[in-house]
């Protein structure tokens, strides 16, 4: 059985992610600014790979528990410093089809 506090923490993180997606989408709609695809985002791929490593337990014998979280936080800060623009999930052609 899953710990309710773990579920609450996951819910909080997912709410923040969805909030970021919403604000990026609204910014794109308002300003019509060009943004890059989510799949070319350094932050996206760093987080995706870290999640894959955590889920598979690939580094469980190498890195102590919790160290990957600290490393990921450091990478996210560094990537945020070099990131200049927003990202989008759907391009304008795909959005027009809906």
Contact between residue 72 and residue 8 where contact means Cβ atoms under 8 Å apart:
no
CA distances to 13, 56, 59 from 17, rounded to whole Å, are: 6, 22, 25
What's the rounded Cα separation, in Å, for the pair 86 and 28?
A: 8
Supply the pLDDT for residue 31: 62
Closest CA to 37 of 98, 91, 97, 82: 91
Cα separation, 83 vs 41, in Å, equals 9
pLDDT of residue 55: 77
- What pLDDT, on a 0 to 100 scale, did the predictor assign at position 35? 65
pTM of the entire predicted model: 0.48
Mean pLDDT value across residues 9-26: 85
């Amino acid at each position: 059985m899953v710990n309710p506090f773990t579920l609450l923490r996951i819910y909080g993180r997912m709410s923040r992610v969805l909030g970021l997606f919403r604000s990026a989408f609204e910014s794109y709609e308002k300003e019509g600014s060009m943004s890059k695809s989510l799949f070319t985002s350094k932050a996206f791929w760093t987080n995706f790979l870290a999640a894959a490593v955590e889920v598979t337990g690939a580094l469980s014998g190498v890195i102590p528990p919790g160290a990957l979280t600290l490393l990921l936080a450091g990478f996210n800060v560094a990537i945020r410093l070099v990131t200049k623009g927003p990202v989008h999930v759907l391009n304008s052609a795909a959005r027009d089809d809906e």
